[in-house]
Amino acid sequence: MSTNPKLTSAEELNEMARQIRRDIINMLLISNTGHSGGPLGMADVFTAMYFNSLKLDNENPLMKERDYFFVSIGHIAPVWYATLARRGFIPLEELKTLRRINGRLQGHPAPGYTHGVPGVEIASGSLGQGLSIAVGTAIGLRMDKKDNYVYCVNGDGELQEGQIWEAIMTAAHHKVDNLTMIVDRNHCQIDNRTDKVMEIEPLADKFRAFNWEVFEADGHNIPNVIETIEKAKAFRGKPKVVIATTLMGKGVSFMEDNFKWHGVPPNKEQGQIALKELATTKFGDFCTKEEVFG
């Protein structure tokens, strides 16, 4: 299983997360389109999941024993593509094709059963739907007496969607305990901060009222994310949620905690600053400076 072993040290994991952030910036600069803030903010969580927590095989993405990993907020695709490439699911070279016509790496991901992206289970991006799919998958696996585990990544702004709470009620009613929901709690969405658009606090209390078990994590502390994910998976009897506190645009000073970077790429000058702040890593970029800056 898997040609890429787990990363176990905090130093290795942090360096991989930093490389993934560099990949995101380079992808956005080459394509000149795409989302910046959310992908950068979730790089640590994705690193924790793909390089430590998930049961998967990059050479056999559809292996029967795999964990199911759904990303309901499909617009953060750049962090998913970069992580999948670093994990060996797709070639690193392909990251140069973000949002290119006839390419696989579109602005919202599509599954890899035919011409989509290996490791992507569903098309996503129409917000509010991913958790329903995750709940249905988890119930189906349980009915089939399978041990696969299900994860679903949701945005905090997405929790303003009514369908999310229907899925939360359904999961609690059926005691779906082979499911962990991960909430990207960055307090930002496309046109403002979440509390300005529609307040969702007290969020942890809401989940508890809906009979979910609540765990909270520092979304930029990878060992803490891994530990919290393990605790959530081990807890049985009800569905679980990990509320991961993050900063939109994490790692790039002028983007951090700024909702205006939700859906726009950096320009060349901003990209140079971002890459300088992120510094180089031992893993190496997938592209040359000439390919990025001309």
Residues 229-273 have pLDDT tens digits of 999 999 999 999 999 999 999 999 999 999 999 999 999 999 999
Count other C-beta atoms under 10 Å from residue 33's C-beta: 14
Give the DSSP H/E element, type plus range, for residue 243: strand 240-245
The enclosing H or E element of 185 equals strand 179-185
Angstrom distance (rounded) from CA 285 to CA 288: 7
What is 14-31 written as a DSSP string? Answer: HHHHHHHHHHHHHHHHHH
pLDDT of residue 103: 93
Q: Which CATH number fits domain 10-293: 3.40.50.1010, 3.40.50.2300, 2.30.30.230, 3.40.50.970?
A: 3.40.50.970
Q: Look at residue 274 and tell me whether its pLDDT is greater than 60.
A: yes
The amino acid sitting at 127 is: L
Whether this prediction's pTM lies above 0.85 is answered by: yes
Contact 8, 220 (CB under 8 A): no
Q: Tell me: the pLDDT tens digits for 129-139?
A: 999 999 999 99
Domain extents for the chain? 10-293
Using a pLDDT cut of 90, give the percent of the chain over it. 94
Mean model confidence pLDDT for the chain: 96
- Measured distance CA(83)–CA(45) in Å, rounded: 10
DSSP reduced 3-state for 39: helix
